[in-house]
Amino acid sequence: MTKKYCIPLLCAFLLVFCTACNHTAADSVPQQLYAAQLEELTEQQCYAYLQFEQLDTPLMLVTDDTYDDGQGHLLSFDCSHVYYKQADTLSDLGPLSSAGTAYPISFDGNSLFVAGGHFIARYTADAQSGMVLAEAAAESFDAEGNATYTYYTTEGEQVVDDNSILITLFEQYSQIPPVTFTAGTAQ
């Protein structure tokens, strides 16, 4: 073969080989880690893997309710299970829920966000404690329509004077991508 044909063939081979290796290595770790949970998924269930910066292994979120965002991504405002596997121990950290399709579960690498029309919550993950409510803000109204604003942290809850914390958390939430789920049958 001449150099004219060898170089393009070598480039094509390397491109295909490197892409296949990278894809297999990245995808196989969570699939191996959560193989038993993947096998138990029903046709209606979907899953997502999330790698928190502070955890050694990814979490696996499982949902029964997804919807298409109009761009081919499966999103959810509710997940029934948040699995965390460390060594040989599997923990189900429980459910997470937003308040409808306008508020998909979102993830920024350090925190999971759930929201609704009058609340927002940011959760972090910890190897020992599981999902930890880092902060949340909510507004409620009395019979006369007067608003009360509450701010929650790991140290407790407090009534605050205005909705500035709620607005700040919603601004954060609007800047991060929603979690994209994969159909359970696409294992």
Digit-coded pLDDT (tens) for 133-170: 999 999 999 999 999 999 999 999 999 999 999 999 99
Is 162 within a domain?
Answer: yes
Is 105 within a domain?
Answer: yes
| Cβ pair 172, 100 in contact under 8 A | no
Task: Please state, in angstroms and rounded to a whole number, the distance separating the CA atoms of residues 50 and 32.
Answer: 15
In this predicted structure, what is the pLDDT of residue 5?
Answer: 41
Domain of residue 146: give its range: 34-183
Is 118 within a domain?
Answer: yes
In this predicted structure, what is the pLDDT of residue 20?
Answer: 38
Is 72 within a domain?
Answer: yes
Is 1 within a domain?
Answer: no
What percentage of the chain carries pLDDT values higher than 70? 83
Is 137 within a domain?
Answer: yes
Task: Please state, in angstroms and rounded to a whole number, the distance separating the CA atoms of residues 41 and 17.
Answer: 31
> If pLDDT is split at 50, 70 and 90, which confidence band does 69 have?
very high
Is 44 within a domain?
Answer: yes
Domain count, the chain: 1
Is 71 within a domain?
Answer: yes
> If pLDDT is split at 50, 70 and 90, which confidence band does 16 have?
very low
